[in-house]
Amino acid sequence: MEKLKIILLVVICTLTSSILAQEKTITGTIYDTSGRPIVGASILIKNTTKGTSSDFDGNYTIGANEKDVLEISYVGFISQEIVVNEQTKINTTLQEDVSQLEEIIVVAYGAQKRGTITSSIVNIKSEELKDITTPDVTTMLQGKVAGVRLGASSGSPGSVPNILIRGSSSLGGRVTPLWVIDGVIQHSIPIVNPNDVQSVSVLKDASATSLYGSRGANGVVIVTTKRGTSGKSEISVSSKVAINTFNTGKFEVMDSRQLYEYHTQFANSQPWFAPELLDRNYDWIENGTQDGFVKDVNVSFTSGTEKLKLYINGGYYNETGTLRGNELDRYTYRMNLDYDITKRLKVSPKLSFSFDNRDKIAEAPLYELYLNLPWDNPFDAEGKPINAQEDSNWLGRDQRNYLYDQQWNYSSDNTFNLSSNFDFEYQVVPNLVFKSVNNFTYYRYKSKIYTDPRSISGLATGGSINDRIDERFTKLTTQILQYSNIFGEHSVTALGGYEYNNYVYENVDVTGNGIVAGTEVLNVASETGEISGFKNDYALQSFFLSANYGFSNRYYAKASIRRDGASNFGLDDQYGNFFSLGAGWNIHNEAFFNSKAINELKLRASYGSVGNRPSSLYPYQGTYRLNTQYIGTPGAVLDQLGNPDLSWEKSYEANIAIDTRLFDRVSATFEYYNKDTSDLLYFVNLPDVTGYSGFWENVGGLTNTGYEAAISVDVIQSENFEWNLGFNIGFNKNEITELFDGQTEIPRGSKIFKIGEDSSSWYIRKWLGVDPDNGNPLWEVVDPDTGARTETSNWNDATLQIVDSSSPDFIGGFDSRLSYKNISLSANFNFSKGGKLYNGARELFDSDGFYTTFNQQVLADDWNRWEKPGDIATHPLVVEGGNNNSNKRSSRYLEDASYLRMTNVTLSYNLPQDILSKIGISNFNVYVAGDNLLTFTKYSGVDPAVTGNPNDPNNIGLSGSPGLTYPIPKRYVLGVNVSF
C-alpha cells in the first residue's frame, strides 16, 4: 500500500510538472518612452534561438513556458529580461540607450534602422531644417546634403527653387527629383508647411530610388509629416516676424552725374544732352523697392491615446515683396489621424490643403527700374504719374512710365491645393501586414488680368479683362503586402506592391475687350478677345518587389525590382523594368575588430537601374495642331512626327561608400558614384519644309561621376556646453558619351550637346578682351581645317565654340551649432565653386554706348575702360551707337558663379524648466535670426545663387541664364515658440 502511494505521488508530480511545462501563447506590445510602438523589436526566449519581432503597431506573439525568460531588445534602446511566470500579456516600455541610439530613416515604401541601410540616403530632422525662414521645404535643404544643388529663379514671395541631385542625367526628360509626401507621389514640387515636417529623406543612388522605377532617375525627396503621440496632448504656437531688404548684390546702375560723365566719353550728339540734365536725378530703384515684411504663424495640436493619435496644424504666412506691389498670403492646414480600430486594423486618414492669394498685384518691373534714366521723372508737379508718350522731356527709349498704367492696371491670382488620403494597415497574420495608401489631389489656379481703357496698354482694345482657370486632378493608389521577421541572428523584410497613378489637367483662358473702366467681370466686355483651352492626361501602372536581409548586425543585403507601364510610350515599349542590388558590412561588429578609436565602420555598395520619361505626354504619337483656321473654316496643321519605337531612358548607377564614427566624436561618410544614362530622350527639330516641328528620339548617352563627403564633429559634449560642426561637399562631372544618328554635336542656341563635353556647355563666341591699340573688342577665330587661332574685331567672323559650362565644379555647405545651458547659436553656410552664368543683363547695361537711352552699369572695382593707345582694359572704347557689336552675345558676359553665402544665423533662448513648470507651459523659446546676410562672390550680377529665370521651359532655375533677376532678399527675423 505504501509503495502504491509513492508511485501515485510520482505520477502526480510528473503530470503537474508536465502541465506547468506546457507552452502557452504570450502577446504584448513594445513601446518607447513617448508611448509610440516600436517596429521590429526583437523578442527572444533566453538561451534559445526561438524568437519573433514586433509588427508595425509594436505587437508581438510568441509561445513560451512559465519559467522562460523573454529577452526584449531594439537597437538604440536598453534591453530588458522578463520572466514569463503566469503572465499571458506582457507589455514593455524600452528606455533609450543614449550611447547606442540608432535613428530610424524613412526609405522607399517603408523605414529602416540607419545601421541596416545599404543605399545612399541622407535623413534630416525637423530641428535641422527650421533655421531659415521660408514657406517651402525646398529652400530649407540648401547646403545641407552633399551632392544636392538648388537652382533658384527668383527671390519673389512664394518662389520655389528647383533641385538637382548628382548632376543632370537627361537631355529631354525631367532632371529634377521626385517628391513623396507621407507615401504619396507628387506631380510636382509640393507646397508643404515647414512646421508640419517631421523629417526629410533624400534618396540619391539607384539602390535607394529604384523602387520608384521611372520616377526615381533624378533622386527622390521623401517628406514625413508630424503625427500625434500616445499619452500626450499638447498645443504649440509658433510665431515669427521678419523684415526683408532688397539685395542688389554687386550690380549697380549710374546716378545722374555718373551717367552724364559716361555720355561725355563718347560726346553724345543728341540735342537733349546738356548740363541741365545734372539737375534731374530720379532714383528709380529706391522708389520701386521697399523693405518687405513677413508674418508666419502656426498653431498645432497633438494628442494621443493607446488607440487614437491626432495631429492638426493651421498656418498663415504673409510676405510683401521687396519690389513694391506684390504680396503673398498663404493659408495651410494639415490633419493626420491614426486610429487602431482593432489590434489588427489601423486606419490613417489625412487631409491637407494650401491656399495662396495674391490680390491686386501691380509690381514694379525690375528691368524698368534699372533701365530707366535718372533724367526721367515719373511724376508731374502735382505728384501725378505722367504719360511718358506725351511728355517731351522724357528721354528713355521705350517712352514708358510703368507708374502711369499702374494707376489702374493690376493682376490677381490664387492657387488652391487639396490632398486627401484614406490609408489603412491590416495585420493578416503575425509578421505579415497589408498596407494601403489611397490619395486624391485637386489643384486649381485662377487668375485675372485687368487692363484699364484709360491706360496706354489698354488703348488698342478699349481695355480688357483676362480670366484663366487651371485645374488638375490626380489619383494614386498603392497596395503593399509586407513581411518582417527575425530568426535568431537573421532578419528578413520583404514586400510586394501594386501602384496606379493618373493625372488630368485642363485650362481655359478667355479675354474680353472693350470694357467700362473699373469693371471686373467678363460679361461687361463688348467684344470677345482671344480664347484658348488646353487639356492633357497620363497614367502610370507599376508592380514592385523588394527584400532586405540582415545577419548578426554585420551583413546586410537588399534587392528590388519594379515594372512600370506609362502612357507616354506606344504599346510595344509601354513597360520598362528597373532593379537594384545593395550590400552592407558593419565591420565594427566583427569579432576580430577591436579599436577604441573607431566606434563604427561600415562599407556599403549598390548597383541599380532607374528610368525616365520624356517631358512630353504624347511623344510617340504623330500630332496635329487644330488651333488654326482659314477664312473662318477650322483646319489642322501638321505638328509632331510620331515615333512608335520611342523607348525608356535608362540610368545604371553604381555607388560605393564608407560610413564611420571616430573617437565617439566624428561621424563621416565618403561616397563615390557612377551614373550611366543610355537611350537619352530628346526632341529632334526638323526643317520647316517637312511640315513638322520635330520628333522625339532616343539619341544617345551621358555619364555623371562624382565624389561626396559629409563630416560631423562633436567638438564639445558636456553637461552644459555643446558644440557641433558639420561639413559636406559634392563633386560631379557630367559628360555626353553618345548622340543621335552618329552625330558628334547638336547645337541648341547658346548651348550645345557634344560628345565628350558637359551637357550644359556654353556654345558661344569667345571673348579675347580689348585691342590695346585702338580700344576695339576682340573675339577668337578658329580655322576649321588647321585649328589655328587668330583675333578679330568683327563679331560675325568670330567662331562659335565651347567656352566652359554652367555646371559647378563642386557644391556644399557647413554649419556650426553651439549651445550653453539654455542659449544656442547656430550658423549655416552654403557654397558653389566654378560654373559660368550668362549675365545677359549686361548686353543692355554694359553696352559700350549701344543703348544711349538706357541707364548703364557702374563698372566693378577691378574693371576699367580703354581710353588711349596702350591701355590694357577690360572694357572697349565707348562709342555712340556701340563699338563693333561689342555687346552682342559672347563669352564676355559669362561670369564665374562661385560664391560663399551665410544662409542663416540664429541666436535662441529656452526658458528654464523650473520656470516653465511654475507658469504651466512645457516649452518657451525665443530667437533672433538672419538669412542671406553675407555673400562673397566676384559675380557682377544681382545674385549668384539665382541660376535661372522663371521662364525656363522645363527646368526652372537651372538654365544658367538668369538675366536680371529678382534677388533673394536679406532677412532679419524675430520669433517665438510656445507649447502647453
pLDDT in tens, 33-84: 766 678 778 888 888 878 888 876 788 889 888 888 888 887 667 788 898 8
Q: Which of the four pLDDT bands, split at 50, 70 and 90, describes residue 5?
A: very low
DSSP per residue, 463-517 = SEEEEEEEEEEEEEEEEEEEEEEEETTEEEEEEEEEEEEEEEEEEEEEEEES--T
CB atoms within 10 A of CB 956: 21
Mean pLDDT of 787-813: 94
Per-residue confidence (pLDDT) for residue 373, from 0 to 100: 95
Mean pLDDT of 370-399: 92
Per-residue confidence (pLDDT) for residue 22, from 0 to 100: 66
112-125: string of b/e by CB count within 10 Å (b at 16+)? bbbbbbbbbbbbbe
Burial class (CB in 10 A: 0-12, 13-18, 19+), 43: buried
Burial class (CB in 10 A: 0-12, 13-18, 19+), 570: middle
Q: Which of the four pLDDT bands, split at 50, 70 and 90, describes residue 100?
A: very low
Helices (H), 294-450: 366-371, 402-405
> Do 638 and 624 form a contact (C-beta atoms < 8 A)?
yes
Per-residue confidence (pLDDT) for residue 12, from 0 to 100: 40
Mean pLDDT of 853-876: 93
How many Å separate Cα 680 from the centre of its chain? Answer: 23
pLDDT digits (tens, 9 = 90+) for 416-448: 999 999 999 999 988 899 999 999 999 999 999
Per-residue confidence (pLDDT) for residue 97, from 0 to 100: 62
Specify the DSSP class assigned to residue 253: B
299-309: string of b/e by CB count within 10 Å (b at 16+)? ebebbbeeeeb
pLDDT digits (tens, 9 = 90+) for 388-399: 998 888 999 889
Higher pLDDT pick, 5 / 863: 863
Computed over every residue of the chain, the mean pLDDT equals: 89
pLDDT digits (tens, 9 = 90+) for 640-650: 898 998 998 88
Q: Cα separation of 156 and 967, whole Å?
A: 8
Q: Which of the four pLDDT bands, split at 50, 70 and 90, describes residue 955?
A: low
Mean pLDDT of 685-712: 90
Q: Which of the four pLDDT bands, split at 50, 70 and 90, describes residue 16?
A: very low
Higher pLDDT pick, 692 / 742: 692
Q: Which of the four pLDDT bands, split at 50, 70 and 90, describes residue 102?
A: low
Q: Which of the four pLDDT bands, split at 50, 70 and 90, describes residue 6?
A: very low
> Do 685 and 737 form a contact (C-beta atoms < 8 A)?
no
Q: Cα separation of 273 and 518, whole Å?
A: 41
Amino acid letter, residue 801: Q
Q: Cα separation of 920 and 235, whole Å?
A: 12
Q: Cα separation of 331 and 735, whole Å?
A: 44
Q: Which of the four pLDDT bands, split at 50, 70 and 90, describes residue 929?
A: very high
Mean pLDDT of 797-811: 94
CB atoms within 10 A of CB 311: 22
DSSP per residue, 190-211 = ----GGGEEEEEEE-SHHHHGG
> Do 420 and 185 form a contact (C-beta atoms < 8 A)?
no
Per-residue confidence (pLDDT) for residue 394, from 0 to 100: 92
Per-residue confidence (pLDDT) for residue 591, from 0 to 100: 87
Mean pLDDT of 349-357: 95
Mean pLDDT of 525-536: 90
Per-residue confidence (pLDDT) for residue 76, from 0 to 100: 62
Distances (CA, A) of 638 to 536, 622, 643, 689, 690: 19, 8, 14, 11, 9
CB atoms within 10 A of CB 514: 17
Burial class (CB in 10 A: 0-12, 13-18, 19+), 184: buried
State what percent of residues in the chain have pLDDT above 70: 96
Per-residue confidence (pLDDT) for residue 578, from 0 to 100: 92
Q: Which of the four pLDDT bands, split at 50, 70 and 90, describes residue 17?
A: very low
- Residue 338, C-beta contacts closer than 8 angstroms, at least 6 positions apart: 227, 228, 308, 309, 310, 346, 347, 348
Helices (H), 240-316: 256-265, 284-288
How many CA atoms are closer than 13 Å to the CA of 568, on its beta-carbon side?
Answer: 25
Mean pLDDT of 281-308: 92
Q: Which of the four pLDDT bands, split at 50, 70 and 90, describes residue 772?
A: very high
> Do 141 and 150 form a contact (C-beta atoms < 8 A)?
yes
> Do 677 and 172 form a contact (C-beta atoms < 8 A)?
no
Burial class (CB in 10 A: 0-12, 13-18, 19+), 160: buried
Q: Name the residue among 374, 373, 379, 371 with its Cα closest to residue 281.
A: 374
pLDDT digits (tens, 9 = 90+) for 546-579: 999 999 889 999 999 999 999 988 888 899 999 9
Q: Which of the four pLDDT bands, split at 50, 70 and 90, describes residue 737?
A: very high
- Residue 198, C-beta contacts closer than 8 angstroms, at least 6 positions apart: 125, 126, 224, 225, 226, 227
CB atoms within 10 A of CB 712: 17
The sign of the torsion formed by the CA atoms of 53, 210, 711, 659 equals positive
Mean pLDDT of 218-247: 90
Q: Name the residue among 740, 750, 680, 668 with its Cα closest to residue 711.
A: 668
Beta bridge partners of 31: 37, 93
Distances (CA, A) of 363 to 9, 135, 287, 562: 100, 20, 12, 48
